[in-house]
Each structure stands twice: as C-alpha cells, then as structure tokens.
Amino acid sequence: MHTVAVLSLKGGVGKTTVALGLASAALRRGSRALVADLDPQGNATATLNPPMTESTLTAVLDTPREAVIDRALAPSGWSPELDVFVSSEDLELLNEPGPDARRMDNLARALDVLRERPPAVDDRPYEIAILDCPPSLGRLTRSALLAADSALLVTEPTMYAVSGAERAFEAIESVRRGPNPRLRSAGVLVNRLRPRSYEHHYRVEELRETFGRAVMPTAIPDQLAIQQAQGACLPIHEWRSPGAHEISLTFNMVLAKILRSSRAGRHRILGGDPEQHAQPDSA
C-alpha cells in the first residue's frame, strides 16, 4: 500500500479536490483505495458520503487499535472499493501545537494495522491510501507526513505560490531527514489553471524556475465540472462533460506518476543506495 499525503499551506486551493480526484482515478484503474480525511472541515467525508460510523478518525489518532479503526472506517458512497476514515470537527483539537507528541505517530500505526492484517475472503488489500491534510503545517499534517511514503503539494498559480511551496518542501525535508526517511516529494501540482491567463502562466513558470522538475508537467484546469461532480457526490470520472473528461485524464496521469515512482523507489531501496554505487572506492 502506497500512502500519499496531499497537502497545502492555505485553504481554498483545491487540496481536497485533488485528493478526491486521485481516489476517483484509483477506482477507474481498478485499485482498492482508502481516503483518510484529516481535515476538520470534513469536505472529503461529505463528498464521499459514507454511512454513519460509530467513531471517527479522532479516536483512531488517540487509540490506533484494530477495534477502534474498524469503528471509524466505512465504505464510501462512490464504491465499496473505496473506504473512508471519516473526519470530525474535534480533529481540530489535535492540530494545536504542544509539547506532547504522543499521538504524532498514531496515524502511521493505524495504517500499519490495515497494511498488515489479512484481507477478508472477498476483499483485496489497499493499493493506495490518500491522506487529505488540513490546509496548514500543524500537527495533523505532520502526522500525515510521518505516515506517508510521498507528499503531493497542491497550489494555485498565484503570487504566493512559490513562498508557500518553499515552506512546504522545507517541512517535507525536515520529516524525511528525521523520523520518516522513506518520505519523498511527489511533486507540486498546480490546480485551477486558466490556460488563457498570462498571469497564471507567469506564476507556473516562476514555480518551475524555483522547483524545476518537481512541478508536474500537467495541471488541473479551472473547470466547473469539478464543482458539479462534487455537488452530486460523484467521482469526476463519472461526470459526463468534456471538461470532466479532460480533468479525469489529468488525475489518471498524476496517480500513475505517484504509483510509478513508488515502485521505482522500492527498487532503489532493494538494490541499495545508487549514490554508493556511483562513488569510487577510496580504500
């Protein structure tokens, strides 16, 4: 199971839209997937429309035992192949800074439980877990970075994009150098791009000058189809319009890149450190 944290540093940039788009692409590709809604606003939970649960992700982050996990986990309204760790408003209490780091690795422990337990008779293991983070670098987002294999940064083509992306990359690198050395950046995904806007193209080029190939070559266009599909609680791949088709293809490519890089990362780990192989023996 590859775990990707979807994050941003401000609200309103479409972070949850991207998380849901990846989930929709996973269903279209036939993958079993999980969405963990870490955002106290609960927009991903509302759109995925799961049945009522006995508990929420808040309880899981407090006590990541299997019985608690099962009470907070539900199949989405989209498909039984897509499950949801449901959100609640009291998640905000866990986002406040403080010296107590007791819960910081509990999300990783919960995902390990799901990764390691045998599937039910007619069930399959998850291929991907998508962590929809709050729009900040608080404790919930850092918990996601501790649990993740990769981190996808979502931004808009605005004048604040570069500084926000720089701070996010610093946070990702800090976690990678510390408690989660397997974490890597999945890149920067630009959302709500208006192809005819000179300003938008200027800001995208500014991002590319700063981050180079980390900026994904494809962007999510600003299309009404996204709001329409979300309002109907449907995956973008099931919304019938030319705009939805274009967006669906983009999410397919982003998901494929994330999964492809995860497999390449495993090969590098299994084969040893490529930098070591490249260095001459000085002995």
Give the model confidence (pLDDT) of 28-75 as tens digits.
999 999 999 999 999 999 999 999 999 999 999 999 999 999 999 999
Q: Tell me the one-letter amino acid at 54.
A: E
Would you state the pLDDT for residue 275? 37
Angle between helices 139-147 and 161-177 (to 10 degrees): 60
User: Is the Cβ–Cβ distance between 37 and 66 less than 8 Å?
Assistant: no
* Percent of the chain whose pLDDT exceeds 70: 88
pLDDT in tens, 63-119: 999 999 999 999 999 999 999 999 999 988 888 765 555 678 999 999 999 988 866
Assigned architecture for domain 2-93+101-271: 3-Layer(aba) Sandwich (3.40)
Instruction: Show the tokens assigned to 186.
Output: 């999945």
Instruction: Show the tokens assigned to 53.
Output: 């649960």
Sequence ranges of the domains in the chain:
2-93+101-271
Provide the pLDDT confidence category of residue 271 given band limits of 50, 70 and 90: very low
Does residue 132 sit in helix, strand or coil?
Answer: strand
Nearest residue to 218 via CA among 18, 12, 59, 58: 18
User: Is the Cβ–Cβ distance between 161 and 155 less than 8 Å?
Assistant: yes
Task: Tell me: pLDDT of 282 over 50.
Answer: no
Task: Tell me: pLDDT of 268 over 50.
Answer: no
- What does each C-alpha distance from 209 to 36, 64, 102, 173, 206 come to in angstroms? 33, 42, 39, 19, 5
Diameter of the chain by CA atoms? 65
Provide the pLDDT confidence category of residue 122 given band limits of 50, 70 and 90: low
